[in-house]
Amino acid sequence: MSEAAIAKKQELVDLATTKFKDAAAVVVVDYRGLTVEEVTELRKQLRDSGIEMRVIKNSILSRAANAAGLEGMDDVFKGPTAIAFSNEDVVAPAKIIANFAKEAEALEIKGGVISGKVSSVEEINTLATLPDHNGLLSMLLSVLQAPIRNTALAVKAVAEQKEEVA
């Protein structure tokens, strides 16, 4: 193998290592059996949410994961592998891929990384059931408003009761 080829492979390993380190979530899938149209549609859905999907050789992914300190991912990098990197939203890649897999049964989640921790298929699927960022914010806001709303209702009830007495 020429020095140029080795340098090119090392560059790809370094790029993938950086992506693993910077990503909030990584989802690894087996795309075998998907049509070109299905892969294109999946890439579009991911891209619309700011998620990058790439097909990278398993040997490069394995080296990059080890370089990023993610031990135990070698079993995930077997067969045709596509990988989705999300730098911001932890839930979005799992949710989009899991929903897409319901329609395209050939798509199979193999594992991933959540907040720097190697995660199983079950953990990725569990993550996919969580609400998205806006849904979580809305739930938090609702919880924070509840005591104020209940206090306001109690004050109103006392005021109405005093009016009836008077």
Question: What is the model's pLDDT at position 162?
Answer: 81
Look up the CATH number of the domain holding residue 122.
3.30.70.1730
Query: Which tokens hold the place of 126?
Result: 């569990």
Lowest-pLDDT range of 63-72, 109-118, 124-133: 124-133
50 and 95 part of one domain: yes
For residues 74 and 139, membership in a common domain is answered with: no
- Whole-angstrom distance, CA of residue 93 vs CA of residue 29: 11
Residue 144 has pLDDT above 90, yes or no: no
Same domain, 142 and 99: no
State how far the alpha carbon of 88 is from the alpha carbons of 12, 23, 52, 101, 133, in Å: 22, 7, 11, 22, 10
Give long-range contacts, CB 8 A cutoff, 24+ apart: 107-111: 107/29, 107/30, 107/31, 107/33, 107/34, 107/38, 107/42, 108/29, 108/30, 109/27, 109/28, 109/29, 110/28, 110/29, 110/30, 110/76, 110/81, 111/28, 111/73, 111/75, 111/76
The range of the structural domain enclosing residue 166 comes to 131-166
pLDDT tens per residue, range 63-113 = 999 999 998 888 899 988 999 999 988 888 999 999 999 988 889 999 999
Section 42-62 average pLDDT: 93
**65: exposed, middle or buried (Cβ count in 10 Å: 0-12, 13-18, 19+):** buried
> Same domain, yes or no, for 67 and 15?
yes
118 and 166 part of one domain: no
Are residue 23 and residue 90 in the same domain, yes or no? Answer: yes
Q: How many domains does the chain have?
A: 2
pLDDT attached to residue 74: 84
Mean pLDDT, the chain, whole residue set: 89
Give the model's pLDDT for residue 83.
95
Instruction: Give φ, ψ of 70 to 5 degrees.
Output: -100, 90
User: Given a cut of 80, is residue 135 above it in pLDDT?
Assistant: no
Do 137 and 103 have their domain in common?
A: no
pLDDT score of 130: 78
Compare 32 and 139 and report the one with higher pLDDT: 32
pTM of the model: 0.76
